[in-house]
Structure 1
Amino acid sequence: MWDHVQWTEEDKENARQRIEENSCTQIPLKEQGKFDTDACQYWDKFYGRHQDKFFKDRNWLFLEFPELLPPGAKSEVTNRCQSDQQAVLTTAVPEKDDAATQTATFPGQHASFRILEVGCGVGNSVFPIINTIKEKDAFLYCCDFSPRAIQLVKDHPDYDDSVCHAFVHDVCEENTSMPFPPRSLDVILTVFVLSSIHPNRIQGVVNRLSTYLKHGGIFLFRDHGRYDFSQVRFKKGRCLSENFYTRGDGTCVYFFTKEEVHDLFSNAGLEEVQNLEDRRLQVNRREKVAMHRVWMQSKYRKLYPPSAP
């Protein structure tokens, strides 16, 4: 794997042509609805087949997202961060908003630092976070709309309800509430989650999630980028709409551009801290295949009210 790979114009054109070819035939509209309405069922079956064997724990999280660490624990990763990440670290520490917590009792109420992971799956981010924030006055919430995934998280030997609350929740549902009040979170994390949502719903999801951030809180995002190898290799007949596809198991994926990501979070009232396109070259030597990977990685902060000091 090579990081920060520059694409030639030929690389871009080849990817564009491949995507134009694989999306020229779209799934008929009358068949598309099930991929949205039945999304939970498709993902529940996915976790039933793969259990916890599909993904590896994301131990890279704290290098890319040091904001996940409570302020008192940040020095533990400072030396592992590159200088540009250290600069982000010093400007991205959210401040506590006590007014949001003066409500009925809720899990994690007494923690001074609260994180929400949306679309946690079987816990590949959850357990690295849990094992890092223990005894640091921090609390993690994690949700997924797959009951099977949440049960797998709770059954994990490292699950600890003194620092974590896992719950079933569909972020696309507009009238459902979270088990914590608005303006109570320091960090929201979404890793390869928003891309699985129908493009017409994503803005509403980000808008609603952002209401739970404290002023100064930060939204961390990592997901699929436009022209990624996984988009290029889709076969004809799997396209639902522009840059939005369904896999053979019924799960869906959208591929973002840097500009789309910026608009998505800016429209939710958040300001940019980081918004980058992570291009890498991955080579499978056995198969003699070179894969151009593209991921989006972004950090957006909730603004303070104009009257705030």
Structure 2
Amino acid sequence: MTEEGFYSFSSQSSRELTEEDNEKLSKQTVISDFKKNKLEIEARKNWDKFYNRNKNNFFKDRNWSAEDLKIICPDIDFEKEISYLEAGCGVGNMLFPLVAEIPKLKLFAFDFSANAVRMLEERAKELELPVATAVVDLSIPSSSSPFEEQVDLATLIFVMSAIHPDKMKIAAENMRNLVKIGGSVVVRDYGINDHAMIRFGREARIADRFYVRQDGTRAYYFDLDELCGFFESSGFKCERKEYLHRITINHQKNLKAPRIFVQARFVRID
């Protein structure tokens, strides 16, 4: 594997930590309860600030998305009209490349951040692309959908990890209200023992595998079976699950960073 940006293989296990990794983890310290509570209260504000500061320049369009979805969901006929929801859409880095490759998608999108949704709407307007949008907090229990219909396919790409672990079950239950029976939710997120998890320093750890970045946004690193448990207990069946192993290479510094992600497909069964 010589090119940055591609995972090298998938497996049913994460990577083993090195002695150096364990030493770095041992030096991480837990933040105060006051700061933990403050981060939870200000979660929306911190993401609004993030998008206001970075606009649509921070995340790159996910041009791998169409190819990967066809591999993960081989039974879905993407030549037919499909209703698709980008849950936790940000500024649409998944949605816009996807519809360019699969033009018959009927588009829906929501995010926690009103600033992100506004920027997505502006880009959709420029492209004359109809997208139904909403501002939604997946961590708050809800028995309904903000849209007029349930969708065939939804994606959660690096979304669950931003939610407090105590509320992830609620997020999975809320996704059940958004997807048709027989519809799919595809999840990709950070995996346990990812290089980024090891790199956090002192005063960044909120709880086990849950961290705060310098900008106040948070990241959780999933065990694969744990992720599946949230959805399987919320009316979904796991059709596919895997750890994605990718090596990110910094040629200038001659460094290799082992990135670990989780990926799974869940089908609503009731």
TM beyond 0.5: yes
Q: Contact between 2:66 and 2:102, CA under 8 Å: does it hold in 1?
A: no
Report the CA distance between 1:251 and its aligned residue.
0.2
Distance of aligned partners of 1:37 and 1:279 in 2 relative to their CA distance in 1, 3 Å threshold: same
Amino acid at match of 1:150: V
1:61 — aligned with what? 65
1:218 aligns with one of 174, 184, 189: 184
Query: 2: distance between equivalents of 1:279 and 1:244?
Result: 20
Report the CA distance between 1:263 and its aligned residue.
1.0
Query: 1: distance between equivalents of 2:196 and 2:20?
Result: 11
SS of alignment partner, residue 40 of structure 2? helix
Distance of aligned partners of 1:269 and 1:157 in 2 relative to their CA distance in 1, 3 Å threshold: closer
Report the CA distance between 1:231 and its aligned residue.
0.5
Q: Which runs of 5+ in 1 are unaligned?
A: 67-84, 95-110
1:196 aligns with one of 156, 162, 169: 162
Query: 1: distance between equivalents of 2:15 and 2:110?
Result: 41
Query: 2: distance between equivalents of 1:258 and 1:175?
Result: 25
1:139 aligns with 2:124: no
* TM-score w.r.t. length of structure 1: 0.77
* Superposed counterparts of 1:3-152, under 5 Å: 3-4=8-9, 11-14=16-19, 17-18=22-23, 20-23=25-28, 25-66=29-70, 85=71, 88-90=73-75, 113-134=82-103, 136=104, 138-152=105-119
Cα distance per residue 1:189-238 (max 9 Å; x no partner)? 10000000000001111112112221110010000001111101000110
* Superposed counterparts of 1:276-291, under 5 Å: 276-291=242-257
Of Structure 1 and Structure 2, which has the larger fraction of its residues in strand?
2
Distance of aligned partners of 1:19 and 1:177 in 2 relative to their CA distance in 1, 3 Å threshold: farther
Q: Contact between 1:191 and 1:223, CA under 8 Å: does it hold in 2?
A: yes
Query: 2: distance between equivalents of 1:192 and 1:288?
Result: 27
Amino acid at match of 1:274: R
Query: 1: distance between equivalents of 2:88 and 2:236?
Result: 21
Report the CA distance between 1:246 and its aligned residue.
0.3
SS of alignment partner, residue 4 of structure 1? strand
RMSD value, Cα? 2.7
Report the CA distance between 1:160 and its aligned residue.
5.6
* Superposed counterparts of 1:195-274, under 5 Å: 195-274=161-240
Moved over 3 A (4+): 13-16, 157-163
Amino acid at match of 2:98: I
SS of alignment partner, residue 74 of structure 2? helix
Report the CA distance between 1:19 and its aligned residue.
5.6
Report the CA distance between 1:166 and its aligned residue.
2.1
Larger Rg: 1
Query: 2: distance between equivalents of 1:13 and 1:250?
Result: 29
Amino acid at match of 1:236: R
Amino acid at match of 1:163: P
* TM-score w.r.t. length of structure 2: 0.88
Q: Which runs of 5+ in 2 are unaligned?
A: none
Q: Contact between 2:190 and 2:222, CA under 8 Å: does it hold in 1?
A: yes
Q: Contact between 2:143 and 2:177, CA under 8 Å: does it hold in 1?
A: no
Which moves more between the two structures, 146-155 or 242-251? Answer: 146-155
How many residues are matched?
Answer: 263
Distance of aligned partners of 1:15 and 1:218 in 2 relative to their CA distance in 1, 3 Å threshold: farther
SS of alignment partner, residue 139 of structure 1? strand
